[in-house]
Amino acid sequence: MPTVVLGHGFAPAAFAPGRYATAIQRTMHGTHDLQVLNEDSTSAFALELAADGTATACRGWRYELRNDGPEVHTEDRYREQQGYRGRYTVVDGVAEVVLALDNAVCPHVFEGGLALARAPSVKLRCVLATPSGKGQLSTPVLLCRPTDGKPAELDPYVVEQIAPAGWFALGSGNGLRVWVTGRPQGAQEGDDVKATVKVADAPNAWEQTF
């Protein structure tokens, strides 16, 4: 059994290979002085850890942000998809995953005006965890966090309201489906950020709002 201290109502469990995934819909609204900010974004991440130690992953992100005010009107639109392939080893019940870019896993998509630097590889530490039952999650999840800094490409999958700080949660099989509302980053006023999560009944997608 892993000895990792997770907190946030999770206890580590024995690792099991399989497919783990999540999809997150953010529909957010807030204000900054006289500016009105609206975010509509969808992100998805799927990680397959095979019994033979091989690993593949595919992540996608659709991001739209509008900033409207008396004199300033801006709009950011961005779409990205990237595949990965690599291996993992289980050490003391923790899966240490090393992934390199591989467009054969899923087609590479890079559309929009945002200049985003991406790392050629991603390293993750993943722990199977059982929720305490006091939150919205009632089934085991795979909690993952990067071990090579904080790559920005993983930020869309972090929802602090459902996982320990710095970790993101993936459900087994079809995975999790998460809805996040409240004020977006950069807004000073608006509702507090809230997250609703359930087990997905179909494979996750990022290309459009769900």
Indicate whether 102 belongs to any domain: yes
Tell me if 208 is assigned to some domain: no
What burial class does residue 105 get, using C-beta atoms within 10 Å of its C-beta: 0-12 exposed, 13-18 middle, 19+ buried? middle
**pLDDT tens series, the chain, 210 aa:** 788 888 778 999 999 999 999 999 999 999 998 899 999 999 999 999 999 999 999 999 999 999 999 888 999 999 999 999 999 999 999 999 999 999 999 999 999 977 677 899 999 999 999 998 777 888 999 999 999 988 999 999 999 999 998 899 999 999 999 999 999 988 989 999 999 999 999 988 999 999
CA distance 88 to 90: 7
Residue 155 domain flag:
yes
For 12, other C-beta atoms within 10 Å of its C-beta total 19
Composition of the chain by helix, strand, coil, percent to 5:
5, 55, 40
What's the pTM?
0.93
In a domain, 54, yes or no: yes
Any domain includes 209: no
Q: Do the Cβ atoms of 141 and 168 come closer than 8 Å?
A: no
- For 152, the domain range is 10-199
Which DSSP category does 191 fall into?
Answer: P
Domain count for the chain: 1
Neighbouring C-beta atoms of residue 121, cutoff 10 Å: 12
